[in-house]
Structure 1
Amino acid sequence: MTLEYSRIGNNQFNISPMKIPQKPFCKFLNESYPGYEYIFEGKTNFPKVGSEGLCPVPAGHYWFRNVLFDATKVLSVAPEGFWRATMLFKGHMGKADLVFYAKLSRESFW
């Protein structure tokens, strides 16, 4: 996963020095994601990860909508502005990019 940010939202993104370690998707999904599932409650149709795990992910069209994160949980060194997170999935069937866009603001309203 790569993290990039744009302070003024002009689509000129800078690579963030913050790094997220690479991990196989199934391992991330079953070990790390359950700790964040509560954030997406009622904001996604993605299946819940049960005690037996969730891999492979059932085929389907999944969405995440209107997700708001608590800015107090974000590192204070993360600059405000627009963020782009790009995840690269590689496997025997090929590869795919998944891109997330977010705006980080320490104020209640933007």
Structure 2
Amino acid sequence: MVVINHDSGQPYYAQLVAGLKREIVQGILQADDQLPSVREMAKQHLLNPNTVSKAYKQLETQQVIRTVPGKGTYVNAMDATVAQADLQLKLQQLVAEASQAGITIADLITWLTKMEGQSL
């Protein structure tokens, strides 16, 4: 189950988006699984329904989930190539940010090597 850290500086909707994506990648949520309604998810995590709605809309825009009017919200099947392309774009953005901060690709590789095998 997605965990929302109410003490984190990260917005609640972003935590919900990241948590649901993580559950999909880990196989906890499968294609065509139904998600709780906006109100139910808000109740489960002590969030405002507008916050959950914002997270769901972002996930829909990213084609991670789909809403069927009158039926509910469901997980879409993940296309590995789409997920890889998304990660590659994020990595390119991270490398650009690192470069602006004076961090080399070699530094990033060193960090990644240290992280390998650690639970994230």
Q: Could you state the TM-score of these two structures normalised by the residue count of structure 1?
A: 0.27
Where relative contact order (Cα < 8 A, 6+ residues apart) is larger, the structure is 1
In terms of fraction of residues, the more helix-rich structure is 2
More strand, by proportion: 1
Please tell me whether Structure 1 or Structure 2 has the larger radius of gyration of its CA atoms: 2
TM-score (norm: length of structure 2): 0.25
